[in-house]
Amino acid sequence: MKSSRYNYYFDAGGGRRGVFNTFTGALSVLTPEEEAFLKNYSGRETDFEIEPFVKMGYIIQDDIDEKAIVDFDRNYYSLNNRAVFRILTTTYCNASCYYCYEAGAPLVHMTLETAEDVCRFIIERTKPGELIKVEWFGGEPLLNQEAIDYITSRLSGNDFSVVYTMASNGLLFTPDVVCKAKNTWNLERVQITIDGLEERFNEIKKAPGIENPFRRVCESIRLLSEAGIAVSVRIHYNDNKDELLRLIEYFAASFSDCRNIFYYFHPLYKNEMSVARDIVADLAELNEALVRNGLSSFDEIYGFTYKLGRCFATRHNSFTIAPDGRLYNCSHNLDDGNVVGSVTDFSIYNAKRLKFQNPALSEACADCVFLPICQGGCRAAELKIATMRQCFLFKEGIELALRQMIKEVTIMITIKEPNTHQAIKNGSLQSNESKVIIPVSDLTTCHPDDCWDCDNCGGPKTH
Ligand code: SF4
Ligand code: SF4
């Protein structure tokens, strides 16, 4: 037996130590003696009872190679995971957010001829019985509803199933549009970004013809929620913690009766490997407020789950499709130099495609204790072709989040099993009841369908 390479030790607060195993998701409070034992465990006879540590995956069999499993999954799922088609119906937008990464991109509306080519491209690549995902993107995707009408209608009636989601600024969801989104487009989830309270939000959106964009977006959130369409509210952090604390109270008062709204905070994009610790500390405080106000749970917010692979953009069968039919790996780098083909002319051997999908890890990632919950992070950031961070959002202050999770579980007095990785479950890693461990969550392995930045990886579990 040996210690897991994925034990992450941290200060659990109140003079306690903690260990989080990024491979199994087990999280425990330890005595200093237990920590020293785990760190120095050499497989020799000991007075310590090792069963609880084995159960959580802190101690594993000698013949288990966790890193090889993580690498295998990343490679396997880049070739075998669900296809995602991120379709930009237009690059036009009815808002003018100063931070938009598409600023300067050519303004193009998808024509119905291109929409037909897009459908053919998708249908050719999808096998009978498959479940694929279509993400409506823009610009503001609702500015080209004809393209959505056309593509959803053309993709229905085939021998495969489609899950539809959308990233929208939320300004165009009238009752009629929401009705169509639910009943005709089968829209399951919408991501809407909020930048602050009314004054800041309206100043940033600068949406001509809309009297009060903040009110309009809040109405959209309610309409969508009442129609049974889940809403991911992505709240931008830009050194405005106090304002966002008030925003949380506003949401708690406005949407306490809505069950399918998920909130998460996200700092504005910067060219950094990871988000600075003082920002993570602010985000942790904001997350605490979300939980205190009954809007979320720490488990849901942090989602420190085993990742089967990187985001959809690194998968061989997944694409970002621009309104003119050009193909990209990722929607965060839509300039001519990153085109990898078009819906009428594409080769799987495109050099930029192969470079983007290369599953090899940098040295830093290969040795990183967080690899199982990160899988190398944002590929566009790693290649320096997008203004993004590479590491997962909470890396620089993860112990702040882990302390919150421990506290939540302690309060709930909930003892659950960690979700031990399937490969381990099928192997020899089995044991009896735990004595010293507080497993925090009934973690499920994540299907990283969504953008690292946009959704799950830095935010809540939304599916
Ligand atoms: S991207 Fe950062 S956190 Fe993720 S595995 Fe690499 S070094 Fe670790
Ligand atoms: S995580 Fe990075 S590479 Fe993946 S879609 Fe998002 S920006 Fe692109």
Examine the pLDDT at 412 and tell me if it is beyond 70. Answer: no
Mean pLDDT of 216-240: 95
Paired with 164 in beta bridges are 134, 187
Provide the token pair at 219: 């109405």
Examine the pLDDT at 420 and tell me if it is beyond 80. Answer: no
Ligand 1 geometric centre to CA of 397 (Å): 14
Alpha carbon 231 to chain centroid distance?
14
Substitution candidate for ligand 2 out of 84, 452, 455 with most atoms within 8 A of CB? 452
Mean pLDDT of 407-426: 43
Alpha helices for 296-430 (secondary structure H)? 298-302, 351-357, 363-366, 371-374, 379-382, 398-412, 422-425
Examine the pLDDT at 264 and tell me if it is beyond 50. Answer: yes
Substitution candidate for ligand 2 out of 365, 453, 454, 457 with most atoms within 8 A of CB? 453
Q: How many CB atoms neighbour CB 311 within 10 A?
A: 27
pTM here is 0.88
Nearest to 391 by CA among 255, 279, 295: 279
Provide the token pair at 380: 């566009």
Enumerate residues 6+ apart whose C-beta is below 8 A from 41.
Answer: 1, 2, 3, 50, 53, 59
Q: How far is CA 47 from CA 43, 44, 83, 391, in A?
A: 12, 10, 51, 39
Examine the pLDDT at 335 and tell me if it is beyond 60. Answer: yes
DSSP three-state, residue 14: coil
Mean pLDDT of 316-329: 96
| Amino acid, res. 234 | R
Nearest to 132 by CA among 321, 402, 292, 261: 321
Mean pLDDT of 22-47: 87
Pick 98 or 320 by higher pLDDT: 320
**Rounded to whole angstroms, how far apart are CA atoms 13 and 10?**
9
* 8 Å CB contact between 333 and 400: no
Residue 385 CB less than 6 A away from ligand 2: no
The pLDDT confidence band at residue 462, using thresholds 50, 70 and 90, is: very low
Q: How many residues does the chain have?
A: 463
Nearest to 310 by CA among 352, 349, 357: 357
The bound ligand whose nearest atom lies closest to the alpha carbon of 332 is 2
The least confident of 159-163, 175-179, 296-300, 312-316 is: 296-300
Indicate the DSSP class of residue 235.
Answer: E
* 8 Å CB contact between 68 and 23: no
Residue 84 CB less than 6 A away from ligand 2: no
Residue 453 CB less than 6 A away from ligand 2: yes
Provide the token pair at 385: 């072709």
Residue 353 CB less than 6 A away from ligand 2: no
Whose alpha carbon is nearest atom 3 of ligand 1? Answer: 391
Ligand 1 geometric centre to CA of 370 (Å): 6
| Amino acid, res. 98 | Y
Give per-residue pLDDT as tens, 425-446: 333 233 222 322 334 333 334 4
Cis upstream peptide for 25 (omega within 30°): no
Whose alpha carbon is nearest atom 5 of ligand 2? Answer: 451
DSSP three-state, residue 315: coil
Whose alpha carbon is nearest atom 8 of ligand 2? Answer: 330
* 8 Å CB contact between 98 and 201: no
* 8 Å CB contact between 185 and 208: no
Counting from 1 in the atom list of ligand 2, the atom nearest the Cα of 452 is 1
**Rounded to whole angstroms, how far apart are CA atoms 170 and 207?**
11
The bound ligand whose nearest atom lies closest to the alpha carbon of 457 is 2
| Amino acid, res. 17 | R
The pLDDT confidence band at residue 164, using thresholds 50, 70 and 90, is: very high
* 8 Å CB contact between 75 and 316: no
Ligand 2 geometric centre to CA of 385 (Å): 10
| Edge-to-edge strand ranges of the sheet holding 16-21 | 7-13, 16-21, 27-30
